[in-house]
Amino acid sequence: YPDGHVEYDEVEDPLPFDVNAPVIEIADRDYALWYRDTTEDMNKYDGKTVSFLGVVARNPKMAKGEFALGRHVMTCCEADISYHAFLARWPQAETLSSYDWVRVTARISVKKTPFYGNKGPVLEITSLEKASKPDPEVATFY
């Protein structure tokens, strides 16, 4: 207001995907919003099934059948782009390479793991298929 006082907006913006759907479909443009919502309120997603497009990151220090799956996210500008990923488990993980793009359907379980150093959302992959990278490749908050 002109006199300098502020009233905060307490209206909660709706998410662009249905958290109560049998399979939560995350559109490419919505990955950043979904990642933030999942990490801020992971218990909301515990036991839910999700489908999305992500890029694989493999690390030989990870357990057999595990890999990271996520997207590069730009919060503000190019200088802050970073990889925002979840721990994924899939028996055929060793057939994947870092930088492979895949579309997955996975059940989310909140568990304590070395990947997070605490509790975090673990993607138990139920289906995975190789995919092409999206355009744009970097996810944003619109």
Q: Give tens-digit pLDDT for 23-77.
A: 999 999 999 999 999 999 999 999 999 999 999 999 999 999 999 999 999 988 8
Cβ neighbours, 10 Å, residue 137:
11
User: What is the chain's mean pLDDT, rounded?
Assistant: 94
State the pLDDT confidence band at 127, using cuts at 50, 70 and 90. very high
Residue of 94, 92, 47, 101 lying closest to 72 (CA atoms)? 101
Decide which of 14 and 11 is more confident. 14
pTM (2 decimals)? 0.89
State the pLDDT confidence band at 11, using cuts at 50, 70 and 90. low
